[in-house]
Amino acid sequence: MSKKKEYRDESTIRHRMMFVFIGLFLFFVILAIRLFVVMVLNSPQLKNIAEKQWTSEVQISAKRGRILDSNGNELAISGNVYRVDLDMNTIRETLKTKKTMSMDSLGKAIAQALGMKQEDVNKKLNQKLPNGLPIQAVTIARRVEKAQADNIKNLKVNGIIVSPDTKRYYPNDNLLSQVIGHTNSDGKGLTGVEYEYDQYLAGIPGKRIAELDRNRSELPYSISTYTKPIDGKDVVLTEDEMIQKIAEKWATQALNDNKAKAVSIVVMNPKNGEILAMANKPDYNLNDPWQKDQNKSSAELQKSWRNRAVSDAFEPGSIFKVITATAAMEEGLVKEDDKFNCSGAFTVANRVIHCWKRTGHGEENFIDILKNSCNAGFAVLGQRLGAEKLNKYINLVGFGQKTGIDLPGEARGIIKPTNKVGPVDLATIAFGQANTVSMIQYMAAFNSVANGGIWIRPHVMKKIVHYDENGNEVVDKQYDDYGKKQIISENTAKTLRGYLEQVVSTGGGKNAFIAGYHIAGKTGTAQKPNPNGGGYAAGKYISSFAGMAPANDPQLTVLVSIDEPDPSNYYAGQIAAPVGKGVFNDVFNYLAFKPDASNLDVAKSMLKDVVVPNVRGLKKAEATKLLKSINLDCDIDQNGDYITDMSPKPGDTVKEGTKIVLYTGSSPNYNDKVVIVPSLVGYSKDKAQQLLDSIGLKLQFNGSGIVSEQDIEEGTQVERGTTINLTLDTVGD
C-alpha cells in the first residue's frame, strides 16, 4: 500500500471520527437541553402530574357559618352531611380486575345505595369530555345523609370517594326569605345575606392527601397529610324573629284581604338604622328555592327571590309630601297658619291639575293640607321652593342614590334633573308623582324626621362573630358604616312630627290611630305608570302608609306598601293605614311599650269601625244574627216578634262590640224613618251602593273610581229614601 493511500485512509478516518464526535456532542447538548427542560422548566408541571398519579387529594368543606337574629335565634344553619365523588380512572381500573362487576351493575349498586334513579347515575358514569375522551372525575351526589354514605362505603369499590359536606338548612322555611337568601349546590351564597356576607360565612376548606399504589388504592403504611377546615363565621342580623313574624302575618293578611299583587312591610329603629323586620309577600321557601314541583321558569324564580323593599322603585304618591313639607319648613317658606285655597283644580302653565278631591278642600292652613293630603296646597309649596331647592332636599334625603344597604340588588330610583323640571313637573313632584324611590330609600328619609334630622344608612348586619375553644363569643366585626349626616334641623323634625300625629289622629291616616301610642304618619295612594309609556295604567295603584311612634320620641318606624290591590278598594287610608296600625300594636305589645292611655281606651281604639245596618222590620232572630255577623252586640226587649226601632240609628258608625238597643213590636211595620248618613269617602261605587241600599238611602254619582266627595256630611240625620250625591275620582290621595 502506498504512502499516499495510507494518508488518505487516515484522513478519512479522522473526518469520520470528527463527525461522530460532533454528532455525539450535539446529541449530548440536545439531551442536556432536554433534561434541563424536563427537570427544570417542566419540573413543577410534571411533579404535579406525578403527585396526582400517586396521591389522592380530597377537599374537605368548611362548615358554613350560621345566620342569627338579634336575639341569637337560628335563621340559617349548616348540618354535617357527605358527598360522593368518583375517580373514574380508578373506577375503570377496578372494573378490569373485578370481572364480576360492570359499569352498568356499578351504576345500579350506587343508585340503590343513594336512592337515586339508575339512569341518572349511568348518565354521570358515561360522561365524556368535550374532546370525546372519558371523563376523569364526577360528582354523583352532594349533601348525602350518613345512612346513605355508609351504604356507599359498604360497596367497597376503589375510586368511590366519600367525603364530608355541609347542607344548608333554614328552620323557619319562608321567614325572612328574600333577606336571608339562599346558596347554590356548592354552598356559595346566591342571594340576600347569604350572598352579601358569603366571604365571612363560607369559611376555608380543608384538605386530606394520601399516597396511592399503582391501582390507586391507599397505601396502608404511607403518611397522609390533613389540613383542618376553618368553619365560617356567624352573621348576627338586626332583625328580630318575633317582629318579623308580626310583619309577615300582617303582610299575608293584607295580600289576601286586598287580592293584591304583592305586599311589603319594613319595620326599623330610626335611631340607628337597624331593620327590625322586612317582609315581602309572596315569598318562597328557603329550603326549596328552585321550587322544583312548580316547574317555574328562571325569570319566575328570580322574581320570587327578589327583595322588593330594596330592589323595586315606585312613585311614592302622597307619602312624598313629608319631604316637600320638610323642605318648605326648613327653608322658612311656610308657617303653620299660612292659608291655602283649594277649589279642586288649579292651572299650571296652561295645564289643569286636579286635587284628589274634585270639589276642593276650600280654605286650609298648613296642617290642614297635610291632614287632607291636598295636592293643590302642596303644588303651592312646590312653587315657593322652586325646582332647585326642592331637588336640593330630594338629594339630601338620598333619593336617586343607593342607600348602601348591605343587601344586593338595590334600586337607585329616578329623579328628574333640576334643569328638566318645568312648572308642571314642579307641581306634580311636590305631591308625589314623576320621581321614583325604593321603600328602603324612603325609610332612610322618613327616619331622619323621626330621629331629629339625621340620615342614617339602613342595614341588616349587627355583628359577625365566632367562638373560641371555650365557647366564648369573639366579635370579628360590628356594623359601623352608618354614614350619619344632619340633613334637617332638630326643630323642623320635631315640629313636623307633631303635624303628622294630627294626620293620624284626625286626618287621612285616622285608621292607624291607637290611643296612647301617638302614632304620626302619612298615607299615599299612587297610580302606577303604564309600563308601555303614555301616562298611568288603568286600575293599578300602590297604596302606602308610613308611620312613626311615639311622635315625641319615635322608637319605631313602619312602612306598608300594597301593590295593585283590588281596584274596587285601593284607598290607602282604608287598606294600608289599618295594616300599619296592626303592626304598631303587635310590636309595641311584644316590646312591652306602655301607652299613656288606659287599657280600655287602647282596646277601644283597636276595634274596627262598623256601619250600623237597618234591622227594623226584621224578626228578632234575623236581626240578632245580622248584627253578630258584623261583630255588634245587642240588647233586645221581649215584648214583640219584630224590630220596630233601634239605637244607634242605621248608618251610624260605631266600634265593633258596640251594643245596639233593639225595640220590638207585634208587626214588621214601623214609623221611624230616620237614618244616619255614613262616611263613604274611599268607597268604590259598588260598595257605596251596597252600603246605602242596606240602610235605605239612594245614590247618584258622577265620575269614576272611588268616592272623593259626598254632598251630605257624615253623621247627618235624614229620612230613608234620601238621595246622596257622590263624586268619584280615579286617585285617592
- DSSP secondary structure of 349-414: TTEEEE-SSTT--EEE-HHHHHHTT-HHHHHHHHHHHHHHHHHHHHHHTTTTS----SSSS----B
Active site residue 318: yes
Q: Are residues 533 and 665 in the same domain?
A: no
274 sits in which H/E element: strand 274-281
Q: Is the CB of residue 479 less than 8 Å from the CB of residue 463? A: yes
Q: What separation in angstroms does the CA of 552 have from each of 38, 484, 498, 595?
A: 80, 21, 8, 13
DSSP lists the bridge partners of residue 635 as: 661
Q: Determine, yes or no, domain membership for 351.
A: yes
Q: Are residues 126 and 190 in the same domain?
A: yes
Q: What is the structure's pLDDT at 92? A: 82
Q: What is the tens place of the pLDDT at every residue in 477-490?
A: 999 999 999 999 99
Q: Give Cβ neighbours of residue 154 (< 8 Å, ≥ 6 apart).
A: 113
Q: Determine, yes or no, domain membership for 50.
A: no
**Chain mean position to CA 502:** 30
Q: Are residues 187 and 269 in the same domain?
A: no
| 174, 205, 235 - which closes a domain | 235
Q: Determine, yes or no, domain membership for 49.
A: no
Q: Are residues 415 and 318 in the same domain?
A: yes
Q: Where are the beta strands (DSSP E) in 23-73?
A: 55-60, 67-68
Q: Are residues 309 and 456 in the same domain?
A: yes
Q: Are residues 616 and 687 in the same domain?
A: no
Direct distance between the N- and C-terminal alpha carbons of the chain, in angstroms, rounded to an integer:
130
Q: What is the tens place of the pLDDT at every residue in 171-210?
A: 999 999 999 999 998 889 999 999 999 999 998 887 766 6
Q: Determine, yes or no, domain membership for 47.
A: no
Q: Are residues 88 and 139 in the same domain?
A: yes
Q: Are residues 642 and 679 in the same domain?
A: no
C-alpha cell at 240: 328580630
Residue 681 sits in which domain range? 673-733
CB atoms closer than 10 angstroms to residue 594 = 9
Q: What is the structure's pLDDT at 209? A: 64
**Nearest Cα residue to 628 out of 601, 663, 657:** 657
| 672, 691, 716 - which closes a domain | 672
Q: What is the structure's pLDDT at 504? A: 97
Q: Are residues 611 and 555 in the same domain?
A: no
Residues of the chain with pLDDT under 70: 1-9, 46-59, 208-226, 731-732
- The CATH number linked to 405 is 3.40.710.10
C-alpha to C-alpha distance for 23 and 33, rounded to whole angstroms: 15
Active-site pick, 56, 318, 543, 684: 318
Q: What are phi and psi of 342, to 5 degrees?
A: -115, 115
| 217, 235, 253 - which closes a domain | 235
Q: Determine, yes or no, domain membership for 46.
A: no
Count how many domains the chain has. Answer: 5
Q: Determine, yes or no, domain membership for 517.
A: yes
Q: What is the structure's pLDDT at 569? A: 87
- The CATH number linked to 705 is 3.30.10.20
Q: Are residues 455 and 542 in the same domain?
A: yes
Q: Determine, yes or no, domain membership for 48.
A: no
Q: Where are the beta strands (DSSP E) in 406-492?
A: 437-438, 454-455, 461-467, 473-478, 485-486
For CA atoms 283, 285, 288, 291, give the dihedral sign: negative
Q: Are residues 302 and 159 in the same domain?
A: no
Over the range 1-18, which residues count as b (16 or more CB within 10 Å of their CB) and which as e? eeeeeeeeeeeeeeeeee
153 sits in which H/E element: helix 146-153
Q: Are residues 716 and 639 in the same domain?
A: no
Helix (H/G/I), strand (E/B), else coil: 229: coil
Q: What is the structure's pLDDT at 75? A: 97
Helix (H/G/I), strand (E/B), else coil: 81: strand
Q: What is the mean pLDDT of the chain?
A: 90
Q: Determine, yes or no, domain membership for 437.
A: yes
